[in-house]
């Protein structure tokens, strides 16, 4: 008996066609009349087999025939791609010209933009190799490197002084940025436009170290960078780079980026690091680990403590490990409302919820007084809450605005609020050691102890010898001058005996003495 015929399966239909990636080959040109046509014809026609390609030439206000020859090539149909030729009415500089081309690519929906120089120094024939990793989703930026092939740069005619300068600068840039690029100075680059949207490249320099700054931005934004070896060619083109000025600009840019990432200086153009909440929490914990440990050590085992503000769960956990009974109060929960007050410097007066510290031996406030709108009113509120608790201790942690680095920033005019550090964008008030002490004295507290803490060098250098060495030196300097070398301040304050308490004690003592007199008579 024949087997029953299997039921026919419905046809899946034709597979949907994959959209071809759109690629912009962007040629930056300045006084390139002798090379522009040759560069155009060297672009491999095979690119059109895989991608939807447009070639864009932007002449940066040349005073020769660069634009005219490019436009003639367009009219002649010299290349098998759509060709657009633009002319900047004013010279924008090497970096400024790139900004315009990248904006063109983003605004017109291109997926990939490949940067080629109009002087022919970088071989357009290698474009398919540089574009492919981005097209395959393996990278967001691909750089053609002249240094990956040993000896290739010198064989290609790179002058010895440029070779040595390239090596020295690249070494410094890799050390500062913890990177491993073979070179930072190739102008042959391909970018994903999605990656360009993630970084504020429009804020970069208009001159040649634009290339360094965009690499830094891509690294901070977590974009993948791939290098591919390319041949080196030095012909009779005129170098328009002032080598010493360029080197100095590169060193300044990389140093500024490292200081920005360490929250020493703030640079808006480098504020593109994509960090998740877990990473932010980890960095915050690193920043406050010395302060947290010192604060915990000041709380007596077996006592009762209130952690007020945003010190985090770690300090509560450390306290409980010492047998301390802990209660946590979020700073936001203390603010009932803000009433309009035209006579207030802030335009409103903060109304705080009542606080009860009667059951506490210590109150811990780390990075709190800097974050309230009016620290004076806040300290008065704390004073009121402690008026009947003369033995309670307030353990206060605060950044020191008098820290030597912050002082130097101010002298040089570079003081600015950043994502972290002493001048944090979340801080509404800055304190020096003296001004913090004075604020507590004027609010009715006694300051019983002040400690200076070193900077969190592990954030800058990671765990290792350098962080240990800097930490040791910083502690020695703090011993000489806390106000100048302490990065953070840890202050212990106790309320002075309030008039309310003195009156209550006087009344109680009077009743006791009166009773004694009555018994005697």
User: Beta strand 325-329 with 304-308: parallel, antiparallel or unpaired?
Assistant: parallel
63 to each of 31, 56, 57, how far by Cα in Å? 7, 19, 16
Q: Which residues of 425-444 are buried (b: 16+ CB within 10 A; e: fewer)?
A: eebebbbbbeebbebbeebb
Inter-helix orientation angle 210-220/243-261, to 10°: 20
| SS3 call for 479 | helix
User: Beta strand 112-117 with 189-192: parallel, antiparallel or unpaired?
Assistant: antiparallel
Q: Which of 55-64, 87-96, 127-136, 387-396 has the lowest mean pLDDT?
A: 387-396
Alpha carbon distance 315, 305 (integer Å) = 11
Q: Which residues of 325-340 are buried (b: 16+ CB within 10 A; e: fewer)?
A: ebebeebeebeeeeee
Q: Which residues contact 316 (CB under 8 A, 6 or more apart)?
A: 307, 326, 328
Q: How confident is the model at residue 249 (pLDDT cuts 50, 70, 90)?
A: very high
Alpha carbon distance 102, 80 (integer Å) = 22
Q: Which of 39-48, 338-347, 393-402, 426-435 has the lowest mean pLDDT?
A: 338-347
**Residue 316 CB neighbours (<10 A):** 18
Pull the structure tokens for residue 388. 């009947």
DSSP class of 20: P
Confidence at residue 286, expressed as pLDDT on a 0 to 100 scale:
57
Alpha carbon distance 507, 88 (integer Å) = 86
Give me the residue label for tokens 């690629």: 23
Q: Which residue has the higher pLDDT, 423 or 113?
A: 113
Helix (H) or strand (E) holding 260, with range, is: helix 243-261
| SS3 call for 148 | coil
Alpha carbon distance 343, 85 (integer Å) = 61
Q: How much is the average pLDDT of 391-404?
A: 93
Q: Domain ranges for the chain, please list them.
A: 22-270, 277-501
pLDDT in tens, 441-494: 999 999 999 999 999 888 777 778 888 999 999 999 999 999 999 999 999 999
Confidence at residue 488, expressed as pLDDT on a 0 to 100 scale:
93
Using only C-alpha atoms, what is the Rg of the chain? 33
pLDDT in tens, 318-351: 899 999 999 888 877 777 666 665 655 656 567 7
Q: Is the pLDDT of residue 1 over 80?
A: no
CATH topology of domain 277-501: Rossmann fold (3.40.50)
CATH topology of domain 22-270: Spore Coat Polysaccharide Biosynthesis Protein SpsA; Chain A (3.90.550)
5 to each of 1, 9, 10, 216, 317, how far by Cα in Å? 12, 12, 15, 65, 70
Alpha carbon distance 57, 66 (integer Å) = 10
Q: Which residues contact 433 (CB under 8 A, 6 or more apart)?
A: 400, 402, 450, 452, 482, 483, 486, 489
Q: Which residue has the higher pLDDT, 358 or 73?
A: 73
Q: Is the pLDDT of residue 22 over 90?
A: yes
Alpha carbon distance 151, 146 (integer Å) = 9
């Amino acid at each position: 008996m024949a087997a029953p015929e299997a039921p026919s399966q419905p046809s899946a239909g034709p597979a949907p066609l994959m959209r071809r990636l759109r690629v912009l080959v962007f040629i930056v040109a300045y006084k390139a009349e002798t090379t522009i046509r040759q560069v155009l014809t060297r672009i491999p026609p095979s690119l059109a087999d895989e991608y939807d390609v447009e070639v864009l030439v932007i002449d940066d206000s040349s005073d020769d025939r660069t634009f005219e020859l490019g436009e003639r090539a367009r009219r002649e149909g010299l290349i098998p791609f759509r060709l657009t030729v633009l002319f900047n009415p004013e010279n924008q500089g090497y970096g400024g010209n790139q900004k315009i081309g990248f904006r063109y690519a983003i605004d017109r929906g291109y997926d990939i933009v490949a940067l080629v120089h109009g002087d022919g120094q970088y071989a357009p024939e290698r474009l398919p190799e540089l574009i492919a990793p981005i097209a395959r989703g393996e990278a967001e930026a691909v750089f053609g490197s002249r240094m990956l092939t040993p000896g290739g740069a010198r064989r290609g005619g790179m002058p010895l002084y440029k070779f040595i300068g390239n090596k020295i600068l690249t070494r410094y840039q890799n050390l500062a940025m913890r990177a491993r690029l073979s070179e930072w100075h190739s102008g042959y680059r391909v970018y994903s436009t999605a990656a360009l949207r993630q970084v504020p490249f429009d804020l970069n320099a208009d001159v040649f170290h634009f290339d360094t700054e965009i690499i830094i931005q891509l690294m901070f934004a977590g974009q993948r960078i791939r290098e591919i070896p390319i041949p080196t060619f030095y012909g009779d083109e005129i170098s328009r780079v002032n080598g010493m000025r360029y080197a100095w600009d590169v060193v300044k840019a990389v140093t500024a980026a490292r200081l920005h990432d360490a929250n020493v200086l703030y640079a808006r153009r480098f504020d593109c690091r994509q960090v998740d909440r877990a990473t932010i929490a980890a960095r915050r914990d690193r920043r406050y680990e010395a302060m947290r440990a010192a604060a915990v050590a000041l709380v007596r085992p077996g006592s009762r403590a209130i952690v007020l503000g945003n010190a985090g769960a770690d300090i509560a956990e450390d306290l409980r490990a010492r047998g301390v009974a802990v209660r946590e109060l979020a700073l936001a929960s203390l603010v009932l409302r803000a009433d309009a007050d035209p006579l207030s410097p802030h335009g409103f007066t903060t109304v705080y919820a009542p606080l009860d510290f009667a059951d506490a031996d210590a109150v811990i406030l780390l990075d709190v007084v800097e974050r309230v709108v009016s620290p004076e009113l806040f300290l008065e509120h704390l004073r009121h809450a402690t008026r009947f608790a003369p033995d309670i201790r307030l353990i206060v942690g605060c950044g020191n605005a008098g820290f030597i680095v912050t002082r130097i920033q101010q002298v040089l005019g570079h003081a600015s609020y950043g994502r972290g550090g002493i001048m944090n964008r979340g801080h509404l008030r800055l304190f020096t050691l003296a001004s913090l002490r004075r604020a507590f004295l004027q609010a009715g507290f006694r300051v019983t102890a002040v400690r200076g803490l070193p900077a969190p060098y592990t954030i800058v250098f990671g765990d290792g010898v350098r962080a240990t060495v800097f930490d040791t030196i910083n502690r020695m300097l703090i011993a000489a001058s806390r106000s100048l070398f302490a990065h953070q301040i840890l202050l212990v304050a106790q309320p002075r005996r309030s008039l309310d308490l003195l009156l209550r004690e006087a009344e109680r003592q009077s009743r006791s003495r009166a009773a004694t007199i009555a018994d005697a008579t």
